Structure 1
Amino acid sequence: MPRSAIIADDHEIIRQGLRQALARLPDLQVVGEAANGLEAIRFVKTLRPTLLLLDLAMPFSKGIEVFSEARRWSPKTKIIVFTGLTAHGLAQQLAQAEVDGMVLKRGPIEDLLRAVNLVLAGGRYFAPELAAMLAEHSEPVPLTPREMQILSLLATGKSSGQIAQSINISRRTVENHRANIMRKVGVNSIAGLMSYAVREGLLETARQV
């Protein structure tokens, strides 16, 4: 029985290219294509694919949010992030959250196929540029995936109430997470959080939609 894959990217031409590339792997079948984050989460929840190829910057729900939700709804799904972003904070956060692979969009298609084969065999793959960056910035990232998700949403200008509604938790829980984030990164204002978000590449992710 062929293994299944979902492609999540908001650009149709990229999805077509990824589908054509994955067609080289005879035992892997693309069963869904998502043009935004909400579609990606829905596909993962209903189809529980073997593999999710995930863009980090998509409409409606950012890649870091989709990653967190995919892990929650389908823990056995392998996730390879396929991105044009190289902010070391995001790369570290995903690596710490045990993403299965990270591939750069500007890299050769062979990198993607190598990543897919390695990940499906039980390994992990990071594009050479990302692996070097992670080695250079090897200090531990203090935020959990949920805290990183909330910080990313705060960086887009959403209020605590809007964040609570968008990820189905209470406003008090959002505010508790925000207080923990501020304590961990050593700031005492929203402006300080925004500076941290810029430094870690979160605003760059939010803008590239």
Structure 2
Amino acid sequence: MKERGKYYAVVADDHAIVRSGLRSALETPGQIEPDGIDVMGEAENGLEAIALARQHKPDLLLLDVQMPLAGGVEVVVEVRRWSPNTKIVVLTGVTAKGMIGALIESGVDGLFSKGDDNSELYRRLPGILRGQRHIAERFVDALKDTAAAPQLTGRERQVLNMILAGHANKDIAEILGISAKTVDKHRTSMMQKLGVHSVPQLMAYALREGLVDPASEL
């Protein structure tokens, strides 16, 4: 764990004004770190976020989970795959308990709400960079009285997102680099866990639990 020295970050959000504000705060000396945090790249969609994390292996990824092309836990899983030491901090407007629970289960290092003042984010980032974890209190409170949701593996969540995007098993297999038989196995396991028996039921579940953005093109 790096205790001293320069830190490097990637900022991922589909709104340029948000990226600009976060970049300015990160890079300003003394705002978060004495020497500032260098931003190595900005991403406006989920695939760009994964690619930049894979390329730069930054100390920090500031991530919005509602972005085009890839989002939610899918991005977290892929970043962990290619850059396991990157601290992933999610700044989101999502309030659905299903998505919040999934993000916490995925092991994100920080989870903050866009509805709160960014001062908490900036105050907590130094500790997160050094190995601490912080979940905003509003999310902890929201989940206190919620029954435990079925736990999907990272791969099952990837398959879920791709099914909802309209991909067939063969296409999913090619994208993920696995066999169609393995995709079918993940699909069967996932649907059993969620208690659904068709793609429409799966879509309804995902929308209800906030596992997919209702405004996205499915």
2:20 alignment counterpart: 16
SS at match of 1:31: strand
Q: 1:81 aligns with which of 70, 75, 90?
A: 90
Which residue of 1 is the match for residue 207 of structure 2?
198
TM-score normalised to structure 1 length: 0.90
Q: What's the counterpart of residue 64 of structure 1? A: 73
Change in Cα spacing, 1:157 to 1:138, as seen in structure 2 (3 Å) is same
- The percent identity for this pair of structures is 43
Stretch of structure 1 that moved more, 75-84 or 183-192: 183-192
* RMSD (Å), alpha carbons: 2.1
Question: Do the aligned partners of residues 54 and 205 (structure 1) sit closer, same or farther apart at CA in structure 2, a change above 3 Å counting?
Answer: farther
Distance 1:95 1:181 in 2: 19
Equivalent residues of 1:62, 1:206 under 8 A apart = no
- Paired residues for 1:84-163 under 5 Å: 84-137=93-146, 139-163=148-172
Q: Could you tell me which residue of structure 1 aligns to residue 195 of structure 2? A: 186
TM-score by length of 2: 0.87
More displaced, 155-164 or 191-200? 155-164
- State the one-letter code of the partner of 1:134: L
Structure 2: 5+ residue stretches without partners? none
Number of equivalences: 209
Report if aligned partners of 1:164, 1:174 keep a CA contact under 8 Å in 2.
yes
Answer yes or no: is the 8 Å Cα contact 1:44–1:74 preserved in 2: yes
1:95-118 Cα offsets, whole Å, 9 max, x none, are 112111111112101022123123
Give the match's secondary structure for 2:213: helix
Deviation at residue 71 of structure 1 after TM alignment? 0.3
2:87 aligned partner, one-letter code: K
Q: Deviations over 1:75-114 (max 9, x none)?
A: 1110001111111111111111211111111210102212
Alignment of 1:163-174 (within 5 A): 163-174=172-183
Once the two structures are TM-superposed, the CA of residue 68 in structure 1 deviates from its matched residue by 0.6
SS of the residue 2:89 aligns to: strand
Q: For the residues of structure 1 that align with 2:144 and 2:127, how far apart are their CA atoms? A: 20
SS in 2 for 1:116: helix
Query: Does the C-alpha gap of structure 1 residues 134 and 121 become closer, same or farther in structure 2, counting only changes over 3 Å?
Result: farther
Matched residue, 1:177: 186
In the alignment, the residues of structure 2 paired with residue 60 and residue 47 of structure 1 have an alpha-carbon distance, to the nearest angstrom, of 20
